[in-house]
């Protein structure tokens, strides 16, 4: 069997589920049809809505010279977007996925496509707080940063955890910004700033380029 003929893990999983449902006596076949029918219908509806709303944002067809771009790279970015749409999305993330699609159509956007695909996967994992912190740093004046909130401040644990998530994803940098004294944690004297990687994420996912 050639590489092209091999089933993906997703396809293998679907076959296992289908076989399991069909094995249920009497009603198995009906359950399988119901499960996969509803599942595909939801995914189709999400994609349909995504593209219906996207076309309203595209003022005019983007002038892409397909002879000068890496088509397979562009296709892999769009496939990542489609998979994200199919899985699920919040209202705000639908807009961000529109941004990703539109920004993918600009000249040279298919370059570094693996990074762009990573950005999309990270976007789908982010909370509204994560996104708010990134956009805040992106719009901040040079030298501004975030620091840990003290444990007795409202929502401190959520805020501090969000900073650490963004740091682990490479989207923000951290550096020592103060003296370590008794009673002060490392987080309170650590400055979190937007990394170049994080800036690229904001530009690709959160900012829509003009048509």
Record the tokens describing residue 74, joined without a space.
């562009």
- Mean pLDDT of all residues belonging to the chain: 77
- Which pLDDT belongs to residue 39? 58
93-97, 121-125, 149-153: which has the minimum mean pLDDT? 149-153
Between 10 and 85, name the one with better pLDDT. 85
Q: How far is CA 173 from CA 108, 167, 188, 194, in A?
A: 27, 6, 15, 6
Helix (H) or strand (E) holding 174: strand 172-176
- Which pLDDT belongs to residue 120? 95
Q: What does the pLDDT average to over 165-175?
A: 93
Between 198 and 149, name the one with better pLDDT. 198
**HSE-CB for 138 with a 13 A CA cutoff:** 19
The whole-angstrom separation of Cα 16 and Cα 10 is: 10
Between 190 and 18, name the one with better pLDDT. 190
Asked whether the whole model's pTM tops 0.85, one would answer no
Has residue 124 got a pLDDT over 70? Answer: yes
Domain annotation for the chain: domains and CATH numbers: 8-47 (no CATH), 58-125 (no CATH), 128-203 (1.10.10.10)
Between 106 and 18, name the one with better pLDDT. 106
pLDDT digits (tens, 9 = 90+) for 11-60: 554 554 455 445 545 444 544 444 445 557 777 778 888 888 887 777 65
pLDDT digits (tens, 9 = 90+) for 47-61: 888 888 887 777 655
Helix (H, G, I), strand (E, B) or coil at 48: helix
């Amino acid at each position: 069997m050639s590489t092209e003929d091999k089933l993906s893990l997703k396809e293998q999983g679907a076959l296992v589920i289908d076989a399991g449902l069909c094995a249920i006596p009497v009603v198995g076949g009906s359950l399988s049809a119901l499960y996969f029918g509803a599942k595909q219908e939801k995914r189709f509806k999400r994609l349909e809505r995504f593209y219906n709303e996207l076309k309203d944002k595209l003022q005019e067809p983007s002038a892409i010279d397909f002879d000068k771009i890496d088509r397979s790279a562009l296709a892999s970015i769009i496939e990542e977007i489609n998979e994200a749409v199919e899985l699920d999305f919040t209202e705000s993330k639908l807009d961000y996925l529109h941004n990703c699609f539109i920004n993918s159509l600009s000249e040279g956007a298919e370059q570094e496509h693996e990074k762009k695909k990573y950005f999309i996967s990270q976007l789908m994992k982010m909370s509204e707080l994560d996104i708010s912190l990134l956009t805040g740093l992106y719009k901040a004046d040079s030298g501004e940063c975030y620091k840990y909130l003290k444990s007795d401040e409202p929502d401190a644990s959520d805020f501090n955890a969000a900073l650490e998530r963004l740091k682990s994803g490479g989207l923000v940098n951290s550096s020592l910004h103060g003296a370590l004294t008794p009673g002060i944690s490392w987080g309170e004297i650590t400055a979190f700033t937007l990394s170049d990687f994080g800036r690229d994420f904001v530009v690709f996912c959160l900012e829509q380029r003009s048509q």
